[in-house]
Amino acid sequence: MREYTKFYIDGQWVDPVEADAREVENPATEQAIGHISFGSAADVDKAVVAARRAFEDWQFSSRETRIELLRAILAEIEKRREDLASAISDEMGAPMSLANGPHVGLLAGHCQTAIEVLEGFEFERQDGATLHLYEPIGVVGMITPWNWPLNQIACKVFPALATGCTMILKPSEIAPFNAVIFAEIMHAAGVPAGVFNLVNGDGPGVGEAISGHADIDMVSFTGSTRAGVAIAANAAPTVKRVAQELGGKSPNIVLDDSVFAQSVARGTTAMMGNSGQTCTAPSRMLVPHRRMDEAKAAAKDAAEKVIPGDPRGNATIGPVVSKAQWDKIQGLIEQGVAEGATLIAGGPGKPEGLEAGHYVRPTVFADVSNDMAIAREEIFGPVLTIIGYEDYDDAVRIANDTEYGLASHITGEDVETAKRLARKIRAGRVAINGGYDMHAAFGGYKKSGNGREWGRFGFHDFLEIKAVMGASS
């Protein structure tokens, strides 16, 4: 049992203002694996005071000081890799290969990327007669989700630290242990007191206190579009900056070519990773109508090779994170059947032999129309929908026919055609054949949010711009 009932405020582990310990569940067993404390507005106030005081010095810290600190953090991450992976596996149900690979790898990767960007970042720029200064925005409240918890912590904390901001982090109460270990890493690396603070809790108790706090200059949020709207509304009276990375329903246009079957299989496997709990997952696969039968066969074969099971065993995927999430996914699978989509793999209920745990059968629907609920709503589980298109113009039309615009995918052998289609898609990023880059901008169009994270683009969200005129010689 993990007992993490203290908060990290002003460089110390402190008790909450009011004791309120809550259980954390292992979704693979449905058993309690430890406790955290739920904080309150009073705990947030303490953290803000510490962060505001620390900002007075940290905003003027040198580039060299920040780089040295980030390198120390990176070294501590490597020391705690196994601890982080174990926590992720326990609280999320992620297979250890995934937890110790991409989950922890992204944490280290964002830290390394921040170092690389900071080494050459221009905090001053002479534009004609005007000197533009890029200065830290101040105290930042960070609210992060459970699905890729270390990634979303990293792509907020490291750019904020690198640009001279101080911060208060509220991680997800569903998967909080990794964040506590992260706070221990920050402490061991020598982060100055008050620069980084951690307060656990839920949205009503801590999230609302952060987004509405008059002495927090910015809120950076990752989560659902519904929650993002509420946070923006709560933040509005204080006129703080609100950066949001929200939901997605990403299309994957499969090109009509000689590697079609391989592309379908690849897209199906990618959809199932992390139990489908990825905001950029290629959840809407678009294929030529005339090749729908080929797509069905390839997707069915790929889905049946995805094995759900014990995260500490040899399973491909673990459970989804909670009973509430399982119930939502089941409801949408049942709705897909009711709407007339062709179920070619998986379906309602738990996989055979996995009665305990929030396991979902890897599911594929074909012959889906883009107006069905399973094509419109973010399911956030291992559920793929396959939609037919007439030609590439029709594929782009379907791809853009969504309220989301976080990410998109194009798969096939003709990269020039893929690049042409990419220019027409209304989304924050397009991955051609699984392309990936830690320096690539990350963020959405439409209801998928605003602002950008990752690489040098992530620095700008945490900076104010000051124009100094009349200083030219």
What residues are labeled active site? 245, 279
Tell me the C-alpha distance between 442 and 279, whole Å: 11
- With a CB cutoff of 8 Å and minimum separation 6, the contacts of 287 are 254, 260, 264, 295, 386, 387, 388, 389
Helix (H, G, I), strand (E, B) or coil at 450: strand
Closest CA to 19 of 4, 2, 39: 39
How far CA 97 is from CA of 100, 149, 180, in Å, comes to 5, 16, 21
Tell me the C-alpha distance between 110 and 150, whole Å: 10
- With a CB cutoff of 8 Å and minimum separation 6, the contacts of 204 are none
Residues in the chain: 473
| Strands 445-446 vs 404-405: parallel, antiparallel or unpaired | antiparallel
24-56 burial string, b = 16+ CB within 10 Å, else e? Answer: bbbbbbeeebbebbbbbeebbebbbbbbbebbe
List strand residue ranges (DSSP E) for 301-362, in order: 342-345
Closest CA to 32 of 206, 177, 237, 155: 177
Tell me the C-alpha distance between 377 and 447, whole Å: 12
Tell me the C-alpha distance between 418 and 143, whole Å: 35
Neighbouring CB atoms inside 10 A of 415's CB total 14
Tell me the C-alpha distance between 397 and 45, whole Å: 48
Q: What tokens were used for 24?
A: 């954390």
Got the DSSP string for 111-138?
HHHHHHHHHH--SEEEETTEEEEEEE--
Helix (H, G, I), strand (E, B) or coil at 68: helix
